[in-house]
Each structure stands twice: as C-alpha cells, then as structure tokens.
Amino acid sequence: MAKSPKVLVVEDEAILRFAIIEHLSANGFEVLEAGNSAEAFDILEKQPRIDFVLTDIDMPGTLDGLMLAKFAAERWPQIRVVVVSGKRKAEITDLPDGSIFFSKPYDPATISSELKKWTKRSSER
C-alpha cells in the first residue's frame, strides 16, 4: 500500500493553519505543522520523508516563507513547494523552480488538487 503524501504546513496564523491542515488531512494527506520557519527547519531536519512544503511568506522570525522555500528546495530537491500570501504577490522569479504561488484567500480544494496532480506525476515516473 502506498504511503500518503506528507505535507508540512508552515503558517503563523493558527486559524488558517488549522483550516488547511483539516482539509488536507480529509483528502488523504499526512500533515505536519509549523508556526514559523524555525519550527519548519526543525521538522525538515528530523523527518525522513516530506513530499510538500506549503508556506506563508510573511511570518515572524528571521526567515520569511520565500527564504524557507528556497532553502528547502536547495537542501531537499525532492520536496515540492507551495507559497501563499495575503500581503505580497510572489513573482515566478522569487520562487524555487517548480514551485507555485497562491494568493490568500485561497481555495483549499485547489491546493489539494494541485498536490494530488504532483503526486500522480511523481508516481508515474
């Protein structure tokens, strides 16, 4: 039996974090959560397999979501990255190769659909 895709959700706004976690969990994803980049790095270092990182851009701490996305993509190239923001519009040049951006408010179903497409393409290789 195939393992459920694992998503790390990095969002400092608890209500938004819980909403997307609930949606992704209900749609077959295993979900980990972090409230900032420091927590996210700790999880990335300790988890043997993470398939996706979904990160907000604006978060407290020294690193924002764009820096987290770039670092994760460089260090763990198998991880696909989704960047979201309600305050800033990320340009394609701001994102790691193969990443996507969604403005807030986003539709959780659209995000889970995109993750499922990526999962399907990966399993077909």
Segments making up each domain of the chain, as ranges: 6-123
Task: Give 23-58 pLDDT, tens digit per residue.
Answer: 999 999 999 999 999 999 999 999 989 999 999 999
Its pTM stands at 0.94
Task: Give 85-104 pLDDT, tens digit per residue.
Answer: 988 787 778 899 989 999 99
Mean pLDDT taken over the chain:
92
Output the pLDDT for position 1.
45
- Give the domain 6-123 fold: Rossmann fold (3.40.50)
The DSSP letter of residue 59 is: -
Cα-to-chain-centroid distance, residue 15 = 16
Identify the sign of the CA torsion 15, 18, 23, 29. Answer: positive
Q: Which amino acid is at 20?
A: I
